[in-house]
Amino acid sequence: MPGFPARNDPTAMALNPTDLYDIRSLLSEEERMIQDSVARFTDEKVLPIIGDCFDQGRFPKELIPEIAAMGLLGSSLPEQYGCAGLNAVSYGLICQELERGDSGIRSFVSVQSSLCMYPIYAYGSEEQRLRWLPAMARGEVIGCFGLTEPHGGSDPANMKTVARKDGDDWLISGAKMWITNGNLADIAIVWAQTGDGIQGFIVEKGMKGFEAHEVHRKMSLRASVTSALYLDNVRVPEANRLPNVKGLKGPLGCLTQARYGITWGPIGAAIACYTSALEYSKERVLFNRPIAATQAVQLKLADMARRITLAQLLSLQLGRLKDAGSMQPAQVSLAKWNNVRVALDIAREARDILGGAGITTEHPPIRHALNLESVITYEGTETVHQLVIGREVTGINAF
């Protein structure tokens, strides 16, 4: 900074402000390549339009073909279903780089990949996999996931949606609320009570009695489609029931996949906010010095860098555990809780460093802060994840 003393030791190699621990060196060459290509996509295709999309309340669906062509839909599923067969760390890096653009873009990919393609892959018949997965990987069929209901999402065991057997078919009735991609989707994975536990069904757009209504007036995730789903005696053939799972562990198993990705995504949002505040603070001159030269602002920036570094290490270790096949749901809960909280706090602090300029979508922090208000609620609220950890360490269920 001209006119201001720099580091004490000018010969020391400068660290990368967004990767103080050189965590990138822990990635394989393939993982780095994937991160770089998604980062380029975010820089070139997402960032130039996303502020306007957020202002207009519009999901940029024109990006879907390129997202699909890059192999980002169902990226961890096997190549025999038209997917990229990447490891868990690569999926995490994809989420991180997409959410550096906007949580809405990462949400779209999370839902398609972890909440729709994953259950078809993990719980579906071979016929269902072959019918849906390749087309979903190509982005030609879009999915959504209906678990939450209007009376309370934290306790899905208490769902009211029912599926009754009627000859060779099922009749499904109920309502689902806050469903990402709802009005975009060609199919919905709908979870319903049956006489034999909770089961999953592939409900297709156009089936009689099935409607999606978009949620308006959102102040968060404005560049994402959120809907209510209504099912009034929708006739669904037995061929659309996911045959290989029964009980709440079905939907919760999908959530573990999606929550894993969500531990990474908000790191991207946090990096975007921190970088924005860092750059702004070096330019903004008050009381005859850049605000970056004040101790108060440096404390905030240093704390952001610390928290981002810890979140990165947490997700990377989680990813390595997942790739080794030993990741536990409670470990995912801890990282989802920590990393979303870190990102939300960083977004709010970055917004503050930008002063009045921080309240417009010309700069990313307010958009990320508003988005992260959803991210901290969906896929299990912060409280739910805290109680999962509480249950894990005490052995007592406090829900």
Q: Which residues have a catalytic role annotated?
A: 379
- Binding at 239: pick from ligand FAD, ligand TGC, none (beta carbon under 5-8 Å per type): none
Residue showing tokens 């190549």: 79
Is the distance from CB of 182 to CB of 227 less than 8 angstroms?
yes
* Bridge partners (DSSP) listed for residue 126: none
> What phi and psi, each to the nearest 5 degrees, are found at residue 297?
-70, -40
Residue 237 or 253: the one with the smaller Cβ distance to ligand TGC is: 253
Residue 55 or 155: the one with the smaller Cβ distance to ligand TGC is: 155
Q: Which residues bind ligand FAD (CB under 6 A)?
A: 111, 144-148, 152-154, 178-180, 221, 226, 374, 377-379, 381, 383-384, 399
Q: Please, which of residues 328-357 interact with ligand TGC by CB under 6 A?
A: 329
- Binding at 329: pick from ligand FAD, ligand TGC, none (beta carbon under 5-8 Å per type): ligand TGC
CA distance 353 to 80: 49
- Binding at 255: pick from ligand TGC, ligand FAD, none (beta carbon under 5-8 Å per type): ligand TGC
Tokens of residue 148, six digits: 């939450």
Span of 46-54, 154-162, 293-301, 305-313 interacting with ligand TGC by CB under 6 A: 154-162
- Binding at 252: pick from ligand FAD, ligand TGC, none (beta carbon under 5-8 Å per type): ligand TGC
Tokens of residue 337, six digits: 């809780």
Residue 104 or 319: the one with the smaller Cβ distance to ligand FAD is: 104
Residue 47 or 384: the one with the smaller Cβ distance to ligand FAD is: 384
Q: How far is the CB of 289 from ligand FAD (least distance, A)?
A: 41
DSSP 240: G
* Bridge partners (DSSP) listed for residue 285: 290
Tokens of residue 140, six digits: 């030609």
* Bridge partners (DSSP) listed for residue 11: none
CA distance 353 to 356: 9
**Can residue 249 be called a binding residue for ligand TGC (CB under 6 A)?**
yes
Q: Which of 278, 262, 264, 268 is nearest to 367 (CA)?
A: 268
203 phi-psi bin (left φ>0, alpha ψ -120 to 50, beta other): beta
- Binding at 179: pick from ligand TGC, ligand FAD, none (beta carbon under 5-8 Å per type): ligand FAD
CA distance 174 to 160: 7
Angle 249-283/364-375 helices, nearest 10 degrees? 160
CA distance 276 to 367: 12
Tokens of residue 305, six digits: 């860098």
Give the residue at shortest CB distance from ligand FAD. Answer: 153
CA distance 388 to 340: 16
Cα 354 vs. chain centroid, distance in angstroms?
Answer: 26
Q: How far is the CB of 38 from ligand FAD (least distance, A)?
A: 22
Q: Binding marks (x or -) toward ligand TGC, 368..397, rule CB under 6 A?
A: ----------xxx---x---x---------
Binding ligand TGC by CB under 6 A: which of 50, 93, 111, 305? Answer: 111
Residue showing tokens 């009695």: 209
- Binding at 383: pick from ligand TGC, ligand FAD, none (beta carbon under 5-8 Å per type): ligand FAD
Residue 242 or 304: the one with the smaller Cβ distance to ligand FAD is: 242
Q: How far is the CB of 140 from ligand TGC (least distance, A)?
A: 21
**Can residue 154 be called a binding residue for ligand TGC (CB under 6 A)?**
yes
Binding ligand TGC by CB under 6 A: which of 98, 147, 311, 353? Answer: 147
**Can residue 59 be called a binding residue for ligand TGC (CB under 6 A)?**
no
Which amino acid is residue 162, in one-letter code?
A: V
Q: How far is the CB of 371 from ligand FAD (least distance, A)?
A: 9
Residue 310 or 389: the one with the smaller Cβ distance to ligand TGC is: 389
Q: Binding marks (x or -) toward ligand TGC, 285..324, rule CB under 6 A?
A: ----------------------------------------
E runs forming strands in 147-288: 162-166, 169-180, 187-194, 197-204, 210-214, 226-237, 285-286
CA distance 336 to 307: 14
Residue showing tokens 């404390």: 299
Is the distance from CB of 353 to CB of 300 less than 8 angstroms?
yes
Positions that interact with ligand TGC (CB under 6 A): 107, 110-111, 145, 147-148, 153-157, 180, 247-249, 252-253, 255-256, 258, 329, 378-380, 384, 388, 399
